[in-house]
Amino acid sequence: MSNYLVEFNNISKFFGKVIALKDVTMKLKKGEIMCLLGDNGAGKSTLIKTLSGVHKPDEGEIIVEGKKTIFASPKDALDMGIATVYQDLALVSLMSVTRNFFMGREPQKGLPGLKTFDIDKANEIASERMGQIGIDVRDPSQAVGTMSGGERQCLAISRAIYFGAKVLILDEPTSALGVHQASVVLKYIVKAASQGLGVILITHNVHHAYPVGNRFTVLNRGKSLGTYSKKDISREKLLSMMAGGEELSKLEVELKEMDRISKI
C-alpha cells in the first residue's frame, strides 16, 4: 500500500507544438499541504486541469492510493475523492447559502417517487458545517452574494469536504482576499489538513503559502524546479526561484541606490 494519497509521476501535456508541462512530479500524503508555486504562465492552470481530469496527460501516470488511474472526466476524479475548488468557486450569488452548499445533491424526504427537498435538514447541515469553521451564518437562506470573499471561499471548500473529498486542489484561494479574509481561509485549510485531508494549494503568493505549507513544488515554464520540505528551503529562496524573483531583487537594489543618490 502506497504512503501517498495521490502521485503524479512525470506528467507532460502538449498542445500541438506547445509544451505546457514537461515531466512534472508531485506526491501528496494524507494530512499534508503541498504548495504548488509559480508565476503567471508557469503551467499551474494546465497542471490543475490535468490533475482534476479536465485534460488527459500525454505522458506520465497518475496513481491514486497505490493504483494507476486514468481520469476520463472531472467526474472520475471527483468520484475518487479528488475535488477542485477553482477561483470562480462555482457559486451562484443570487442563490442561498444552503442551495449553493448542496448544488444538485440536496437531501430529500418523502415516499419514493414523491420525494421533495428537505430544506430544514439542508439548512441545519449548512449552518452547522459553516459554524465548524467559525463562520456564523445567521440565516442559511441568505444569498451567497451577501457573504464576504473569505466566507464564500470557505463555503466552497467546506462543500467539497462534506461530499467526501480526500484530496483538495485549491486554485489561488487567497488571490482576491484582504489580509484578514486570507487568514481565515488559510486557517481553515490547515484545520482541514489536520483532520487527514490532503491539500494541493496552488498560488503565486509565497507569503501565503510558506506559513501553512509542508512541502513546496515550484513550476517555471511548465517544468518543475523541484520539491522541497519547509525545513530545507527558506521563504526568500522560494521567492528567488519563482519567475520574476531575481528581477524583483534587482529592482529593490536599484531603488535603494536611487534613494541613496537622491539624498546626496
Distance (Å, whole) CA 115 – CA 107: 10
Does 110 reside within a domain? no
Residue range 82-86: mean pLDDT, rounded = 91
DSSP single-letter state for residue 30: T
Does 109 reside within a domain? no
- CATH label of the domain that carries residue 62: 3.40.50.300
Rg (CA), the chain: 21
Does 26 reside within a domain? yes
Which candidate, 259, 245, 258, 261, places its Cα nearest to that of 38?
A: 245
Does 177 reside within a domain? yes
Residue range 89-102: mean pLDDT, rounded = 91
Note down the domain range covering 64. Answer: 6-93+163-233
Which candidate, 160, 185, 187, 162, places its Cα nearest to that of 172?
A: 185
Exposure string (b/e) for 36-56, b if CB count within 10 Å is 16 or more? bbbeeebbbbbbbbbbbbebe
pLDDT, residue 179, reads 86
List residues bridging with 63 in a β-sheet: 7, 68
Cell 486554485 appears where? 171
Residue 258, pLDDT > 60, answer yes
pTM (predicted TM-score): 0.85
pLDDT, residue 90, reads 83
For residue range 223-238, what is the model confidence (pLDDT) as tens digits? Answer: 998 999 999 999 988 8
Q: What's the number of domains the chain is made of?
A: 1
| CB-count burial class (<10 Å; 0-12, 13-18, 19+) for 26 | buried
Does 183 reside within a domain? yes
Does 213 reside within a domain? yes
- Residue 47 three-state SS: helix
Does 19 reside within a domain? yes
| CB-count burial class (<10 Å; 0-12, 13-18, 19+) for 193 | buried
pLDDT, residue 244, reads 55
Distance (Å, whole) CA 35 – CA 210: 8
For residue range 180-219, what is the model confidence (pLDDT) as tens digits? Answer: 888 989 999 999 999 899 999 999 889 999 999 999 999 9
Does 152 reside within a domain? no
For residue range 38-81, what is the model confidence (pLDDT) as tens digits? Answer: 887 888 889 889 989 999 999 999 999 889 998 999 999 999 99
Cell representation of residue 13: 501535456
Confidence of residue 170 (pLDDT cuts 50, 70, 90): very high
For residue range 98-144, what is the model confidence (pLDDT) as tens digits? Answer: 999 998 888 999 888 888 989 999 999 999 998 888 788 888 999 99
Distance (Å, whole) CA 75 – CA 193: 23
Distance of CA 131 to the CA centre of its chain: 21
DSSP single-letter state for residue 156: H
pLDDT, residue 257, reads 75
Distance (Å, whole) CA 110 – CA 112: 7
